[in-house]
Each structure stands twice: as structure tokens, then as C-alpha cells.
Amino acid sequence: GAGVSQSPSNKVTEKGKDVELRCDPISGHTALYWYRQSLGQGLEFLIYFQGNSAPDKSGLPSDRFSAERTGGSVSTLTIQRTQQEDSAVYLCASSLDRGGREQFFGPGTRLTVL
């Protein structure tokens, strides 16, 4: 079946603009995760959704970052008033549940803030 898809694959934006990144998880996966990798850094957890439970937002770096997951499927990560330090590869992953099962990653969105 189809894997995790993300769009756009690349996004170049100007400082101060808002951006939306989209993730389409594997059908039937109840857990969805967002990570980012900044230059020279490891994968950093941002947020995860598990079914209808309240999302764990503890990794979001500032209140400019928000995410939603509609209908338990597609998720959108929104970054408002982008800053240069937001430049990174944003990865989405999904898994059957949050209980330690392997996560399936999408190809990522490379965000560049000029």
C-alpha cells in the first residue's frame, strides 16, 4: 500500500511569512508524529497525535508552531511568522499505535526561510 506522503517536498519562503506543511499517513495508523532536523542536529520531536486523544505538543519550539489532524488522518503543521532558524527538514511519521511500534516516515519537507 501507499506509504506516508508529505507535501510540498521543498518550500522556500521569506522571513515573516506563514507556511503550511501537509502529511498524509498510512491508512489505519492511529498515531502520527512530526519531527524536524535542523542542520547539524539530530531528529527533534515536535508533536504527536494518537487517535482522538489530546496531542502531545510538548516538543513545539514556540507558539508560532501549531498542528492539527483532521478526521484522524491528514495532518497540517503550520508555522507562523517564519524565522531563519525554522529552516530544517520536517519529517512526518505514522504508526499503528503509540505503543512503541515502528514508525513509518514520509520523505520530508525541506523548508528554507530566507
Partner 1 sequence: ILNVEQSPQSLHVQEGDSTNFTCSFPSSNFYALHWYRWETAKSPEALFVMTLNGDEKKKGRISATLNTKEGYSYLYIKGSQPEDSATYLCAFMTRGSTLGRLYFGRGTQLTVWP
- Select 19 or 46, whichever has its Cβ closest to partner 1: 46
22 in Cβ contact with 74 (< 8 Å): yes
Least spacing, CB of residue 105 vs partner 1, in Å:
4
Least spacing, CB of residue 51 vs partner 1, in Å:
11
Site of interaction with partner 1 (CB under 8 A): 3-4, 31, 33, 35, 41-45, 48, 50, 56, 58-59, 91, 93, 98-108
Phi-psi region of 81 (alpha: psi -120 to 50; beta: other; left: phi over 0): left
- Rounded CA gap, 8 and 38, in Å? 17
Least spacing, CB of residue 65 vs partner 1, in Å:
16
56 in Cβ contact with 47 (< 8 Å): yes
